Amino acid sequence: MPTYDFECVKCHYKFEQKRSFNDDGTADCPRCHGEARRLFSSVPVIFKGSGFYVTDHRKSGTVRAEAATEEKSETKKAEDNTSKPDATTV
């Protein structure tokens, strides 16, 4: 059975109580025996596995790798063109 948080309408006392999923959203306050309503709170989110960190993005890493490969190939072509002697000048 899950535990729910409740707050009394009269005295504003907050308490926890185990309730079934089928039970209604009201309970009796243990202090003043007034009506208490269930409180809703945010649920923590836990990211597990790959793909949730900046370093895990495949697309941005691939783009950087492709750009680096293109720069290397362009640099190599420029070096090859300047380092080879022309066959026509011999």
- Six-digit token pair at 41? 């709170």
Give me the average pLDDT of each 10-residue run along the chain (90 residues).
90 92 87 92 77 60 56 63 57
User: What's the token pair of residue 59?
Assistant: 């697309």
Residues in a beta bridge with 35: 28
Question: pTM for the complete prediction?
Answer: 0.46
Q: What is the distance between the alpha carbons of residues 83 and 90, in angstroms, rounded to a whole number?
A: 15
Do the Cβ atoms of 41 and 25 come closer than 8 Å? Answer: no
Q: What is the pLDDT of residue 65?
A: 55
Instruction: Give the separation between CA 34 and CA 44, rounded to whole angstroms.
Output: 31
Q: What is the pLDDT of residue 48?
A: 74
SS3 72: helix
